[in-house]
């Protein structure tokens, strides 16, 4: 029997998103979170990216269950896909579980998955692990940190958190419990790194409510359109509060936001005054100055409501001069270009766009992270949730808080960190990475297919069709050439004719030399035509030869 705990991040490090970590001891494995990340610009046609759980599938008999810290997509989005493979129990707080259950219902597996709603302070057992849920604050309600009691000591995982003494819903973070754990002795702390580069403290969510009041007051004669994250329940609550205060009706647009509001309202986490929410078709019964639209699309996503409105392709909402559009979010790194594209489109249509001072982060800045270190007094520090620059700065902060350099570990996805009272070292690696979801296909689009899509997007496609007589091996038809995304055939007739000549000569020479293996013949066509096109155009289209034998 080993006396070492294994911490195995399978996602969420050196990136923003796709958070999932396995904790292992002996024959027991528990999973913390299971999120998605969104595709990069070069992942053409990919809808979602989920973690590779090969290691968990190989050790399926050891996996006791999954605990979830909060309901954001980068922590719960991949759960349905993983449940289809592992079918393990899920433990989460009320709102988090409500959002998970909606996803499981969409995938038609709700009744197949064991679920348990956990309250703050409650401890659940997963094999030799005992996990306590601790109240924290974040940009979504019902967020939790985890105290994981293991045979070698207490592991504290903060989840995504901030310290908010005046949250919109619920109570402030349970700092007392963090302090009590520190007195017991915390073996290792896994803390959120997202805002570690920012000094000071993150402002309270309630400060945004005051900003909304000012915006509503200053724009009494204009229609308001406010975009924010669908999952930011507290933000949406404050928008509705301001709308009610200033006598406006709210219209919610965006499927994900409608679902989140419905779930939060059913659980009593959101309080919506009577007759404040109306359907979009009812909007025509009210003057513009009495309406506020709450939409998705604050990150410039192509298919989100605000992007459709900006591009004039939304079937119910059109921008008119004088509209005031508020972005109540900050661009996620990498999304800036998409966000500013939408802002420009809105401004061109005559809207006034407000995107400063209408958002506060849900993540802890330096002083809040220091506070958690001061309270928990961990022996070891393991920065999580962030790109490498965040993890590196977090490691420096941990050392500033008195943790020896050798007791701080910046991990990479797939590494196995073994930890006990006297051991703290990476001892191996497991399979990890990304699995691409394209439509209904999960994992059937790999790097080779992506590379083909990238080449097609950059250089286009040229299809070469030729027919050869069986037995005599004489060309009886073609070559015919079809170009897609390379050149417009009608405007490049001379080039296409030259391409046909090259193919005809290449095929004739090969057949004359006795080459009758169609794969070899196709390679000869690709090489000869590819070289010719490069010399003439300095482009490399994908060349697809089709040989018919009759």
Active centre residues (catalytic): 192, 363
Looking only at the bridges linking them, the beta strands covering 186-190 and 153-157 are parallel
* Nearest by Cα to 254 from 276, 283, 225: 225
Characterise 378 by phi-psi region: left (phi > 0), alpha (psi -120 to 50), beta (else): beta
DSSP 292: E
State yes or no: cis peptide before 491, omega within 30 of 0.
no
Distance CA 478, CA 500 (A): 8
Q: In whole angstroms, give the CA distance from residue 417 to residue 4.
A: 9
SS3 541: coil
| Pair 167, 234: CB distance under 8 Å | yes
Task: Report d(CA 32, CA 45) in Å as an integer.
Answer: 29
Cα–chain center distance at 516: 50
464 near 503, Cβ under 8 Å?
Answer: yes
DSSP for 323-388, written as a single string: -EEEE-S-PPTT-HHHHHHHHHHHHHTT-EEE-SSS---SS--HHHHHHHHHHH--SEE--BSB-H
Q: Sign of torsion, CA 388 389 391 395?
A: positive
Using an 8 Å Cβ cutoff, are 124 and 115 in contact?
no
Q: Are strands 153-157 and 249-253 parallel, antiparallel or unpaired?
A: unpaired
Question: How do beta strands 63-67 and 475-484 pair?
Answer: unpaired
- Say if CB 493 and CB 534 are below 8 A apart: no
Tokens representing 341 are 């594209």
Q: What is the DSSP letter of 39?
A: P
Tokens of 163: 């310290």
Label the pairing between strands 352-354 and 324-327.
parallel
Q: How many CA atoms lie within 13 A of 371 on its CB side?
A: 20
Contact 409, 386 (CB under 8 A): no
Distance CA 489, CA 491 (A): 5
Nearest-angstrom CA–CA distance, 486 and 305:
33
**Residue 277 gets which letter from DSSP?**
B
Would you say 361 and 202 are in contact if contact means Cβ atoms under 8 Å apart? yes
């Amino acid at each position: 029997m080993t006396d070492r705990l294994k911490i195995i991040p399978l996602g969420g490090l050196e990136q923003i998103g796709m958070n999932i970590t396995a904790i292992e001891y002996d024959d027991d494995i528990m999973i913390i979170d299971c999120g998605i990340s969104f595709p990069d610009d070069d992942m053409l046609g990919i809808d979602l990216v989920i973690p590779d759980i090969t290691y968990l599938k190989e050790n399926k008999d050891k996996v006791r269950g999954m605990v979830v810290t909060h309901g954001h997509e980068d922590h719960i989005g991949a759960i349905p896909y993983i449940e289809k493979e592992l079918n393990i129990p899920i433990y989460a707080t009320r709102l988090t579980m409500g959002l998970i259950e909606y996803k499981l219902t969409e995938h038609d597996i709700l009744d197949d998955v064991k679920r348990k709603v956990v309250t703050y302070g409650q401890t659940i057992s997963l094999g030799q692990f005992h996990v306590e849920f601790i109240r924290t604050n974040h940009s979504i309600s019902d967020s939790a940190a985890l105290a994981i009691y293991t045979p070698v000591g207490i592991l504290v995982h903060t989840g995504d958190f901030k310290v908010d003494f005046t949250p919109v819903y619920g109570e402030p973070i349970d700092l007392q419990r963090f302090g009590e754990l520190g007195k017991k002795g915390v073996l290792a702390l896994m803390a959120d790194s997202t805002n570690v580069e920012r000094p000071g403290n993150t402002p309270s969510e309630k400060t945004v409510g005051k900003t909304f009041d000012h915006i509503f007051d200053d724009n009494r004669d204009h229609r308001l359109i406010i975009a924010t994250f669908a999952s930011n329940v507290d933000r949406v609550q404050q928008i509705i509060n301001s709308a009610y205060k200033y006598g406006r009706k709210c219209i919610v647009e965006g499927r994900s936001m409608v679902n989140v509001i419905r779930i939060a309202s059913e659980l009593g986490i959101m309080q919506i005054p009577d007759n404040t929410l109306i359907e979009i078709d009812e909007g025509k019964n009210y003057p513009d100055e009495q309406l506020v639209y709450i939409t998705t699309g604050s990150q410039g996503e192509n298919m989100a409501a605000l992007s459709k409105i900006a591009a004039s392709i939304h079937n119910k909402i059109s921008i008119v001069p004088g509209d005031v559009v508020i972005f109540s979010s900050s661009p996620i790194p990498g999304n800036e270009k998409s966000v500013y594209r939408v802002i420009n489109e809105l401004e061109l249509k005559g809207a006034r766009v407000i995107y400063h001072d209408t958002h506060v982060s849900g993540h802890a800045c330096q002083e809040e992270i220091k506070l958690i270190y001061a309270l928990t007094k961990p022996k070891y520090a393991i920065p999580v949730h962030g790109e490498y620059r965040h993890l590196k700065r977090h490691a420096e902060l941990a050392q500033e808080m008195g943790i020896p350099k050798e007791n701080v570990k910046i991990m990479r996805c797939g590494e196995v960190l073994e930890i006990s009272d006297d051991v703290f070292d990476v001892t191996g690696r497991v399979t990890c990475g990304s699995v691409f979801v394209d439509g209904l296909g999960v994992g059937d689009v790999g790097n080779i297919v992506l590379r083909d899509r990238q080449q097609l997007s950059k250089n286009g496609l040229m299809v070469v069709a030729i027919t050869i007589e069986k037995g005599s091996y004489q060309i009886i038809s073609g070559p015919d050439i079809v170009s897609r995304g390379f050149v417009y055939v009608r405007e490049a007739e001379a080039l296409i004719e030259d391409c046909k000549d090259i193919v005809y000569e290449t095929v004739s020479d090969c057949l004359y030399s006795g080459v009758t293996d169609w794969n070899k013949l196709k390679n000869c066509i690709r090489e000869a035509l590819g070289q010719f096109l490069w010399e003439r155009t300095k482009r490399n289209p994908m060349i697809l030869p089709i040989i018919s034998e009759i």
